[in-house]
Chains A and B, each alone.
Chain A
Amino acid sequence: MVIALPVFIESLTMSQTPDLECRAISKSFDDFKAVKDVSFSVPQGTFFSILGPSGCGKTTLLRMIAGFQKPTSGDLLIKGNSVLEVPPNKRPVSMVFQHLALFPMMNIGANVGFGLRQRGVNKTDIKQQVERVLERVGLGGVADRPVASLSGGQKQRVAIARCMVLEPDVLLLDEPLGALDLKLREHMKIELKQLQSEFNTTFVYITHDQSEALVMSDQIAVMNHGVFEQLGTAKELYYEPSTAFVAGFVGEANRFAATVESVNGTDVQMITDQGKALRGVDAGQGVQRGDSVDVFVRPEAVRLSRDVSQTGQLGNGGAGRVENILFNGANSQLILRDQASGAEMNIAMPQTGEFRDLTQGDVIAYGWEPQQTRVYSSARGRHGL
């Protein structure tokens, strides 16, 4: 026992070493800062997504991890070792490229075996390992076929197999689903998640598509203008966005500009620019009386009723005229104009069938709870002070 304890502690600390760790990493191109002091760590076996609009610096970040770009400052550790000085062909990471970058001059087997050949593994072992990994991605027996004979989804799996055969510590994926059509993309989301849990490898996935990130990831970082706005699980990002950018970028939201009337704890009373009184909760930015704020409400948080008394006590709401009905099956939406203030609201159509007969021009009562109303300090700053 005396000897076993330090061993136990060592194994404990070993398992806690994250597969990937970035410490205050930055990258500048001339006078443009693409990535600014980003720090995060990814534990072993995590599906980690970096979600952000194009130009937010996510590709630069991924290319730094892969080794194609050198950080201006900061440190990058893989399994606890700094890899800043390690060239891309020596790093224990593999990357699935946006357009997959399968080698057209080689057949599928040679593509998957490429990395093993570079390591000098003997031919019979390569053949076995290639066949095994192809079977794991559900493509057994295709090794001798040309790459062009595969469909989009199959190419995707070959690209993953080509990386996984090398057993990398971290697999990087650069929007690999972007080139696929919608149906296949939906299917591949599930498949990617399954492959990840099957291989139990750490995945770092970058995308601008929030649904890809929400469906697949254990952890998501929302990136904008070179910094992480928020890092958390899909649920946290959706229900408790910590910045106005995250609230607007992840999921749908109604957005109002308002001015704070009074603050009581986290409870905030406001008047929108269009003159509508609202109650909401401070999202943690410490808004004060007189502040300009942005208010976010999810379309599905708003309840509809034909009876004003049912929505009246919810805290926020009023009566609205139906401007438009955007029918999209289960995702149908209602565009409502508030009769008092003239503000436009986007409301998810309840799927109970109760409002199926609603038509343009109808007037209906709507309301939502203050807890579902998140308040953020506005970039416009304070007025009245």
Chain B
Amino acid sequence: MVGNLSKRGYIAAHGGGMVSDKSKLTFWLLMAPLLIWLVTLIVLPHVGMFLVSMREKIGVREYQTSFANYEVFFNEPLYWNTFARTAYMSITATALTLGIGFPIAYYIAKLTRGRTKTTLFLMCLIPFWVSELVRTFGWMILLRETGVFSNVLQYLGLVSGPVEMLYNDAAIMTGLVYTSMLFMVVPLVTTLDSLDDSLIEAGYDLGASSFAILREIIIPHAMPGIVSGCIVVFMLSLGNYLTPILLGGKDSLWFTGLIYSQFITRFNWELGSAFGFLLLGLSSLIVFVGLKLSRQSLTKTMGQA
């Protein structure tokens, strides 16, 4: 009797163990692609890059561990000026994108319905069907000396000779805003869509002006969308290489351009890696400060948008 009971208990325990083993296996199998992707494409290269960035070349194939590469960055004004310029240009681009994207998103989410809404949303998406390179060349066709804008201005008699509109900060800014607009509009439309119209009406009913409603009801509600849109746009701008180089020309002074030239032109992988790490640190810091200022958490914003 006792033996029988214990045997049954053993089977129960063992059976249960098999079930949990199986579900554990399923869990790991499902997680495997994500883990492989994270480890091989993100963690390993970064560890490698960090190790490279900590090497100082002291002779032919002779290296020692030091912070010398990081010192070079701080001792050379061109490097950290470019670094700061990239940061504030990206922040400006993000702010501009938000400023232009918010009314568009509000219009799509709140003032249109059904077919019009879908059409407008698609129109935001259509430019992304062509590659970024082609899109940027499109801007070059418009802005260059012999381009469309210059010719139209001459034809209208507003200017006497050809005007070069490429290769300046405004051209870079235009390109950055244009490239990242979709990534701002999509999360904003999503959050604004979820705002109940009756909240806006209740605001008016209680005597609020349109501005008070925007400030007290619409923006607080859309905050997760605003923050997640800003994070994505900021990251894209900071890490953008094509747009600043093509539209800003050789004097664009974009930090990714510096990294490129260290790796490819100068063949100085050590300094390039250090720059890469500084850029990573910078973007993380700015996103962190942004989240703190807007009192949002990364999990909340990313979860919602």
* A311 CB within 8 Å of chain B: no
* A166 CB within 8 Å of chain B: yes
List CB contacts (< 8 Å) of B161-207 with chain A: 196, 198-199, 201-207
Stretch at the interface among A89-97, A220-228, A373-381: A89-97
Query: Do A105 and B217 have beta carbons less than 8 Å apart?
Result: yes
| Interchain Cβ contacts within 8 Å, total number | 63
- Across the interface, name the chain A residue whose C-beta is closest to B218: A105
Query: Do B205 and A94 have beta carbons less than 8 Å apart?
Result: yes
Query: Do B207 and A119 have beta carbons less than 8 Å apart?
Result: yes
Contact partner, A118, options B196, B201, B207, Cβ 8 Å? B207
Stretch at the interface among B93-101, B128-136, B208-216: B208-216
- Across the interface, name the chain A residue whose C-beta is closest to B223: A105
- Which of A95, A101, A106 has the most chain B CB atoms closer than 10 A to its own CB? A101
Sort chain A's interface into a size bin.
Answer: 20 to 34
A322, chain B: closest CB distance, angstroms:
49
A68: chain B residues within 8 A (beta carbon): 201, 204
B217, chain A: closest CB distance, angstroms:
6
* A99 CB within 8 Å of chain B: yes
Query: Do A114 and B208 have beta carbons less than 8 Å apart?
Result: yes
* A88 CB within 8 Å of chain B: yes
B205: chain A residues within 8 A (beta carbon): 66-67, 88-89, 93-95
* B117 CB within 8 Å of chain A: no
A104: chain B residues within 8 A (beta carbon): 221
Query: Do A101 and B208 have beta carbons less than 8 Å apart?
Result: no
Residue interface bits A166-191, CB-to-B below 8 A is 1, else 0 = 10000000000000000000000000
Residue interface bits A90-127, CB-to-B below 8 A is 1, else 0 = 10011101110101111000000011001100000000
* B15 CB within 8 Å of chain A: no
Contact partner, B198, options A87, A88, A90, A98, Cβ 8 Å? A98
* A157 CB within 8 Å of chain B: no
B204: chain A residues within 8 A (beta carbon): 67-68, 87-89
Query: Do A101 and B207 have beta carbons less than 8 Å apart?
Result: no
Query: Do B196 and A162 have beta carbons less than 8 Å apart?
Result: no
Query: Do B198 and A101 have beta carbons less than 8 Å apart?
Result: yes
A41, chain B: closest CB distance, angstroms:
22
Residue interface bits B15-58, CB-to-A below 8 A is 1, else 0 = 00000000000000000000000000000000000000000000
Answer whether A89 and B207 are a contact pair too, CB < 8 Å, given A105-B221, A114-B216.
yes
- Which of A93, A94, A99, A114 has the most chain B CB atoms closer than 10 A to its own CB? A114
* B9 CB within 8 Å of chain A: no
- Which of B201, B207, B216, B217 has the most chain A CB atoms closer than 10 A to its own CB? B207
Query: Do A166 and B206 have beta carbons less than 8 Å apart?
Result: yes
* B290 CB within 8 Å of chain A: no
Query: Do B207 and A103 have beta carbons less than 8 Å apart?
Result: no
Answer whether A118 and B206 are a contact pair too, CB < 8 Å, given A97-B201, A99-B196, A101-B201.
yes
* B103 CB within 8 Å of chain A: no
Answer whether A114 and B196 are a contact pair too, CB < 8 Å, given A68-B201, A101-B201, A105-B220.
no
Answer whether A101 and B209 are a contact pair too, CB < 8 Å, given A88-B204, A89-B204.
no
A89, chain B: closest CB distance, angstroms:
5
- Bound Cα distance from A114 to B204, whole angstroms: 11
B296, chain A: closest CB distance, angstroms:
13
Contact partner, B199, options A98, A103, A162, Cβ 8 Å? A103
Query: Do B209 and A103 have beta carbons less than 8 Å apart?
Result: no
Query: Do B208 and A118 have beta carbons less than 8 Å apart?
Result: yes
A106: chain B residues within 8 A (beta carbon): 216
- Which of A67, A97, A118 has the most chain B CB atoms closer than 10 A to its own CB? A118
- Bound Cα distance from A94 to B208, whole angstroms: 12
Query: Do B220 and A101 have beta carbons less than 8 Å apart?
Result: no
- Bound Cα distance from A114 to B196, whole angstroms: 17
Query: Do A166 and B217 have beta carbons less than 8 Å apart?
Result: no
Query: Do A103 and B202 have beta carbons less than 8 Å apart?
Result: yes
Query: Do A115 and B206 have beta carbons less than 8 Å apart?
Result: yes
Query: Do A89 and B201 have beta carbons less than 8 Å apart?
Result: no
- Bound Cα distance from A166 to B204, whole angstroms: 13
A94: chain B residues within 8 A (beta carbon): 205-206
A173, chain B: closest CB distance, angstroms:
12
B57, chain A: closest CB distance, angstroms:
56
Contact partner, B209, options A93, A95, A118, A162, Cβ 8 Å? A118
Answer whether A99 and B198 are a contact pair too, CB < 8 Å, given A114-B206, A118-B206, A118-B209.
yes
- Bound Cα distance from A118 to B208, whole angstroms: 5
- Bound Cα distance from A99 to B216, whole angstroms: 20
- Bound Cα distance from A218 to B303, whole angstroms: 50
- Bound Cα distance from A89 to B212, whole angstroms: 11
A90: chain B residues within 8 A (beta carbon): 207
- Bound Cα distance from A115 to B220, whole angstroms: 17
- Across the interface, name the chain A residue whose C-beta is closest to B197: A101
Contact partner, A162, options B206, B208, B212, B221, Cβ 8 Å? B206
B199: chain A residues within 8 A (beta carbon): 101, 103
- Bound Cα distance from A104 to B216, whole angstroms: 11
Q: What are 15 contact pairs spanning A and B, CB under 8 A?
A: A67-B204, A68-B201, A88-B201, A89-B207, A94-B206, A97-B202, A103-B199, A103-B202, A103-B216, A103-B217, A114-B216, A115-B206, A115-B208, A119-B207, A166-B207
B contact set with A: CB distance below 8 Å: 196, 198-199, 201-209, 212, 216-217, 220-221
- Apart from A101-B201, A103-B216, A118-B209, list 4 A-B contacts with CB within 8 A: A97-B198, A101-B202, A103-B217, A114-B206
